[in-house]
Amino acid sequence: MTATTVPATAPIRVDLGLYPEVQKFGAADISACFSCGTCSATCPMSQTDGTFPRRIIRFAQLGMKEQLLSSKELWACYQCGECAETCPTKADPSEFMAATRRYAIASYDRTRLARTMYTRPAVASVLAVLIALFFAAFMYTAHGPMPGEELAIFTFIPEGLIHTMGIVVMVVVLLAGLAGVATMARDIGRKEGVSVRGALGSRRGLARTGRALWTAVGRESLGQVRFREECEADAVAMAVPWYRRRWLVHALVVWGFVGLLAATGLDYGLALIGVKETGTPVPLWYPVRLLGTLAGASLVYGASVLIIDRYRKANRSVTGSTTADWLLLALLWVTAVTGFTIELALYLPSAPVWGYWLFLVHVAVAMELVLLAPFMKLAHAVYRPVALFFVALAAEPKEASR
Ligand code: SF4
Ligand code: SF4
């Protein structure tokens, strides 16, 4: 790898190893791209910026690493695959964008674990099994009896141990995740000329920031508005049933995951303030339980459809799959299905022994899923809203200069 400087208004560092590096993350061969712009004309997300995704491809071809990593537009792509269909040279810009996001996640991660997860599939798979086994074995060493009258899961695995492990995992995730997000936000902020003072230092700045946050988190991430409105025209044209639409399946996974995290947190909070001990049987309509049940069903359905669609290559967005894609789906699916099955088993007239073992598997895999979140595709759940915040901020009317 060599570094040199090309003449420009401001010095631009050129990394000639960038393109081969991005290719290690699964990028299709985009050397055939001659920047014709057809993909930009096709892309439903490119309405306000006629150079997207073509510009990202050029950054990689020219070795402009800093420009690539500080591109907020990289995360505006929903991998609908329309650009891949229309590209005259079959350069597959859609897959290239996905690979570049993997590369970005690995670049923001200082531990290099994300890089291993993406570029060394065999090591990643072994690591995933070992982490799950570690969590399961660790909890099993402290296990109690398996009462037969009713499924007393916290008698088998003490809830205090699960809470302590959960807190340790969350601390690791927050430290690793926040470091990556801070790096990304700093890089994009510098490129966009957004400073903390400008964003928060005046009433107008605060109002713009608030609106951009709402757009990025409320409308785009939780509401999936652009995904639904702009990436689904094809689905309507091809008469894909509403319950198989990409935006809905993706949204169900998002809502399910967020709902389960919220239900777990609320359950813990209720125990802390003495309202309800964790694990106390409550009727289905009890708000926290109802939230957990609906979120679990949502995640089971969403993850199952994602797996089936990816296996069948059911749409343009899943024509190419990496081990990391499968690993994430497997962790999501096992977490969701084991959790939902335990939820049902809790109300059986007598406690099935398999319920206890399933609980052990559920907690081990759920811990692993959260622990690996900053190092896998799941990290996009945070990186994308941050980038979309800058996209929304750029679309806000500028403050009048005085
Ligand atoms: S990726 Fe294909 S469509 Fe897009 S600019 Fe390059 S050659 Fe044209
Ligand atoms: S995959 Fe879809 S959203 Fe992404 S760049 Fe291509 S056309 Fe645009």
Average pLDDT over residues 303-308: 94
Highest mean pLDDT among 4-8, 28-32, 65-69: 65-69
400 CB burial (10 A radius; 0-12, 13-18, 19+): exposed
Task: Centre a 10 Å sphere on the Cβ of residue 280 and count the other Cβ atoms it contains.
Answer: 12
User: Does residue 278 register a pLDDT over 80?
Assistant: no
Nearest CA residue ID for atom 3, ligand 2? 77
The confidence band for 401, taking pLDDT boundaries of 50, 70 and 90, is very low
Note if the bond before 241 is cis, omega within 30 degrees: no
Nearest CA residue ID for atom 2, ligand 1? 87
Among 85, 87, 97, residue to substitute to test ligand 1 (most atoms within 8 Å of Cβ):
87
pLDDT in tens, 350-374: 778 899 999 999 999 999 999 999 9
User: Does residue 57 register a pLDDT over 50?
Assistant: yes
User: Does residue 400 register a pLDDT over 70?
Assistant: no
55 lines ligand 1 (CB under 6 A): no
SS3 of the chain: helix, strand, coil, percent, to 5: 70, 0, 30
Among 56, 94, 229, 318, residue to substitute to test ligand 2 (most atoms within 8 Å of Cβ):
94
User: What distance in Å separates the CA atoms of residue 393 and residue 306, rounded to the nearest whole number?
Assistant: 32
Rg (CA), the chain: 23
User: What distance in Å separates the CA atoms of residue 101 and residue 202, rounded to the nearest whole number?
Assistant: 33
Residue type, 333: W
Highest mean pLDDT among 149-153, 197-201, 221-225, 253-257: 253-257
The confidence band for 4, taking pLDDT boundaries of 50, 70 and 90, is very low
pLDDT in tens, 306-340: 999 999 888 777 777 888 899 999 999 999 999 88
User: Does residue 237 register a pLDDT over 80?
Assistant: no
pLDDT in tens, 241-258: 888 888 899 999 999 989
Provide the 3-class DSSP secondary structure of residue 12.
Answer: strand
Among 47, 54, 74, 79, residue to substitute to test ligand 2 (most atoms within 8 Å of Cβ):
79
User: Does residue 233 register a pLDDT over 90?
Assistant: no
Q: Which helix (H) or strand (E) holds 287?
A: helix 287-312
| Cβ proximity of 145 and 344 under 8 Å | no
| DSSP characters over 122-181 | HHHHHHHHHHHHHHHHHHHTT-----SSS--HHHHS-HHHHHHHHHHHHHHHHHHHHHHH
Nearest CA residue ID for atom 7, ligand 1? 33
pLDDT of residue 347: 78
pLDDT of residue 231: 66
The confidence band for 185, taking pLDDT boundaries of 50, 70 and 90, is very high
Task: Centre a 10 Å sphere on the Cβ of residue 105 and count the other Cβ atoms it contains.
Answer: 25
User: Does residue 58 register a pLDDT over 70?
Assistant: yes
Task: Centre a 10 Å sphere on the Cβ of residue 159 and count the other Cβ atoms it contains.
Answer: 17
pLDDT in tens, 88-143: 988 889 889 999 999 999 999 989 999 999 999 999 999 999 999 999 999 999 88
78 CA closest ligand 2 atom index = 3
Q: Which ligand is nearest to the CA of 315?
A: 2
pLDDT of residue 47: 62
35 CA closest ligand 1 atom index = 5
* pTM, entire model: 0.87
